[in-house]
């Protein structure tokens, strides 16, 4: 089987398992999604989803957020980890949204990546999930799984993103990155992985991983 056939088979497996993958971070608009994705760095989606309702109950818009102090934001988001850095980023980016973007989340990679605390992965998630622009966000889980399945050399997340965009059709990027995440949770955990029970790794997984 050549790589194109392998990729097509993996796509079919992912589509069968998760035909309509939900967005794992709870949100109500572009701004709440941006903040949730920022908070998810080195934190589980489950924990973020327990913290964001507390934060947005106090400040659901940039205008409301800048009325809080950085310290107040930090106390609310502390369970998400990296709270000093994330709280300052949330406060500062909220100011920038008001000053430069009329209080709206910008709809370009360049403008998003200029915001404090927003890297390429966060921008990609927002572009894909808020604005339906084709993107292939790569977190550590997608990076690990694509290496495990022999779809990338595992060099770094930038290379994995390039490989994902090259291997998967552009029109499915926004779904397939979510499908990989949910598939990993169900079948391909970092620890306790049972190769024989995984529909993909049992066929294509690298040995010893």
Q: How many Å apart are CA 11 and CA 183, to the nearest integer?
A: 11
Instruction: Write the CB contacts of 145 (distance below 8 Å, at least 6 apart in sequence).
Output: 180, 183, 184, 188
Tokens 């690990």 appear where? 144
Instruction: Write the CB contacts of 127 (distance below 8 Å, at least 6 apart in sequence).
Output: 107, 108, 109, 112, 133, 135
By CB neighbour count within 10 A (0-12 exposed, 13-18 middle, 19+ buried), where does 37 fall?
buried
**Catalytic residue selected from 67, 88, 99, 139:** 139
Q: How many Å apart are CA 177 and CA 24, to the nearest integer?
A: 12
**Catalytic residue selected from 86, 121, 163, 175:** 121
Q: How many Å apart are CA 85 and CA 82, to the nearest integer?
A: 6
121 is catalytic: yes
Tokens 């309509």 appear where? 20
DSSP state of 21: P
Helix/strand/coil percentages in the chain, nearest 5: 65, 0, 35
List residues with catalytic annotation. 121, 139
């Amino acid at each position: 089987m050549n790589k194109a056939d392998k990729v097509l088979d993996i796509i079919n497996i992912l589509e069968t398992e998760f035909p309509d993958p939900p967005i794992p971070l709870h949100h109500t608009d572009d701004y709440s999604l941006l903040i949730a994705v920022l908070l998810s760095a080195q934190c589980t989606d489950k924990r973020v989803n327990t913290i964001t309702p507390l934060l947005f109950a106090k400040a659901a818009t940039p205008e409301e957020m800048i009325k809080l102090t950085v310290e107040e934001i930090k106390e609310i988001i502390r369970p998400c980890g990296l709270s000093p850095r994330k709280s300052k980023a949330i406060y500062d980016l909220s100011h920038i949204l008001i000053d430069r973007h009329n209080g709206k989340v910008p709809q370009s990679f360049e403008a998003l990546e200029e915001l404090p605390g927003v890297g390429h992965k966060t921008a990609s998630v927002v572009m894909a999930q808020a604005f339906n622009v084709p993107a292939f966000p790569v977190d550590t889980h997608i990076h690990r799984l694509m290496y495990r399945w022999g779809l990338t050399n595992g060099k770094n997340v930038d290379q994995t993103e390039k490989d994902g965009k090259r291997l998967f059709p552009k029109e499915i990027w926004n779904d397939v990155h979510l499908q990989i995440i949910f598939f990993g949770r169900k079948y391909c955990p970092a620890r306790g992985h049972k190769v024989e029970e995984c529909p993909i790794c049992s066929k294509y997984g690298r040995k010893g991983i």
